[in-house]
Amino acid sequence: MIAGNGRLKIAIQKSGRLTDESVELLRKCGFDFEFQRHGLYSPCRNFDIDLLALRDDDIPEYVQDGVADLGIVGENLVRERNAKVKHLTRLGYGHCKLIISVPAKSKVTTLEKLKDKRIATTYPVTLKHFLRTNKMKADIVELSGAVELAPALDVADAICDIVSTGTTLRVNGLKPLTTVLESQAVLISNPTSYGGEKKRELIERLMIRISGCLQARGKRYMMMNAPAASIERLKKILPSLKSPTIVPLAEKDMIALHTVVGEDEFWDLMEKLKKNGARDIVVVPIETIIT
């Protein structure tokens, strides 16, 4: 029996938008497993953790009820289900927004103008909370899917749905009116698992690895050689985690300089560094950063 064996159980989406990045993140954490997309459990060979492949809708409740100790799921679902779970960290993927949209030709241009109108959604709890916070009254039409069709079918005057690229809105002749919620994938924990000594220790070890991967995301390690006389100029150009590492070289009056840079800035930096005396510049990916 796998349940209750003292190992950590982490629920991830079986097959969907969050699956590949969740599996990739756990692999980057050094966990050795074969992901059983069609099975329930994927045991990890080198750490006391098992992956549980579930529908995303079930993850908040299963973590709340202790079926899984941890879960990776969109914040949008955690909110909608009002799950009593502990948020451990945002994971930086699965970005989307829950947005109220209206037909492009609609006269409704502000939230206030939606008063007493019909809003179709699969997120009734979050929408109700949002309307209450904004002291707005509207009729919530709860649907189970294909919400974007509701205005054309005259089932609703507006919709409240998840948007990422906005293509679905455009294709259906809709325009955004206001954002209800911004969301991304989050790591959640069952509060009791987090409170227990053995599981807490495993969760903390997992968290160190995840934070290391998150910190390293989008970063590159840059190494270069330069004349010692140019150090001050180069240091001014370079950002760094703390300060750049400077090592003397066998070649007289030459140094090696190492630093961490963002992947979006290293091309620009490289040109500036070269102009200021750096040469033999090498840029390599970073697996993890433990601070």
Residue ranges that bind ligand PRT, judged by CB under 6 A: 13, 16-18, 55-57, 74, 76-77, 94, 96, 161-168, 183
> What H or E segment, with its residue span, contains residue 151?
none
Report the side by side order of strands in the sheet with 96-103.
139-142, 118-121, 158-163, 96-103, 174-183
* Residue among 104, 93, 200, 111 nearest 152 (CA): 104
CB of 195 to Zn ion, least distance (A): 29
Cα gap 199→160, rounded to integer Å: 38
Residue 80: name its binding partner from Zn ion, ligand PRT, none (Cβ under 5 to 8 Å by kind): none
Residue 144: name its binding partner from Zn ion, ligand PRT, none (Cβ under 5 to 8 Å by kind): none
Task: Please say which residue, 166 or 173, places its beta carbon nearer to ligand PRT.
Answer: 166
Taking the C-alpha atoms of 9, 21, 26 and 196 in order, what is their torsion angle to the nearest 10 degrees? -40
Q: What is the CA radius of gyration of the chain?
A: 25
Helix axes 19-28, 197-216, angle to 10 degrees: 100
Measure the N-to-C terminal CA separation of the chain; round to a whole number of Å.
Answer: 38
Place of tokens 């959640």: 188
Task: Please say which residue, 72 or 255, places its beta carbon nearer to ligand PRT.
Answer: 72
CB of 173 to Zn ion, least distance (A): 25
Place of tokens 């910190």: 215
CB of 224 to ligand PRT, least distance (A): 39
CB of 13 to ligand PRT, least distance (A): 5
Name the residue type at position 285: P
Task: Please say which residue, 69 or 80, places its beta carbon nearer to ligand PRT.
Answer: 80
CB of 18 to Zn ion, least distance (A): 10
- Please report, as ranges, the residues that interact with Zn ion according to CB under 5 A: 56-57
Residue 183: name its binding partner from ligand PRT, Zn ion, none (Cβ under 5 to 8 Å by kind): ligand PRT
Closest residue to ligand PRT, based on beta-carbon distance: 74
Half-sphere exposure of 246 (CA within 13 A, CB side): 16
Residue 85: name its binding partner from ligand PRT, Zn ion, none (Cβ under 5 to 8 Å by kind): none
Task: Please say which residue, 90 or 258, places its beta carbon nearer to ligand PRT.
Answer: 90
